[in-house]
Amino acid sequence: MMKGSVLMYQVATVALLALACSLAFASDPSPLQDFCVAVDKYDSAVFVNGKFCKDPKDVKAEDFFFQGHLNVARDTSGKQGSNVTAVTVEQFPGLNTLGISLARIDFAPYGQNPPHTHPRATEVLFVLEGTLYVGFVTSNQADGKNLLFTKVLNAGDVFVFPVGLVHFQLNIGKSNAIAFAGLSSQNPGVITIADAVFGSEPPINPDVLTKAFQVDKNLVEYLQKLF
């Protein structure tokens, strides 16, 4: 009788631990867009957290294929001297719900992919050609500082940028550079810091930026006009 009671106690303990673990790991699904406001009337809803799914019986092999000509160099004559060719769920519907996307990044000599962040994805970068100076900045630490981690990458090297952190890539070579990035979201999003701060619509009140950057208000207004 005692053995049976001990066994039942052990079974109950394991069951409670399993329940506790399941609750501890329970969470809402990660957002796949900037926001998704709830509505009560479904006929007025235009988005879900992600994309609506095609009926499985209508799916074809072509749905899992993307002919993006990622072997072709892109124009890098812009101000930053770089060009990002993104392949997210917007360009490749077969990525829906798979939690992955990619991009090709072309760099002119001394071109850069300026400081930016992906709010929904970790990025792993592979350098195919050239030499890149890359890095990311941490969130605010306990001492109030933000740590910078940098590395010079050559062809064949790989670097990872943790989700949500500000990062950048700069071509420090005299020739073109090419890199490919894998991202852990079908829609990673991108916030280019300078564009977001100085080029938002409508503009951020210059008084806010003047105090934040501790610079003259005329400089802030000049930068806002640039963007």
Beta bridge partners of 54: none
Consult the annotation and say whether 90 binds a ligand.
no
Consult the annotation and say whether 123 binds a ligand.
yes
Structure tokens at 212: 């934040």
Question: In this structure, what are the phi and psi dihedrals at residue 212, rounded to the nearest 5 degrees?
Answer: -65, -45
Cα–Cα dist 170/114, whole Å: 8
Cα–Cα dist 108/128, whole Å: 14
Consult the annotation and say whether 113 binds a ligand.
yes
Phi-psi region of 224 (alpha: psi -120 to 50; beta: other; left: phi over 0): alpha
Consult the annotation and say whether 221 binds a ligand.
no
Sorted by sequence, the CB contacts under 8 Å of residue 123 that are 6+ apart come out as: 160, 161, 167, 181, 182, 183, 184, 188
Q: What angle do CA 221, 223, 226 make, to 5 degrees?
A: 115
Cα–Cα dist 9/160, whole Å: 47
Binding residues for Mn(2+), by number, are 116, 118, 123, 167
Q: Residue ranges for the binding site?
A: 113, 116, 118, 123, 167
Binding-site positions for oxalate read: 113, 118, 123
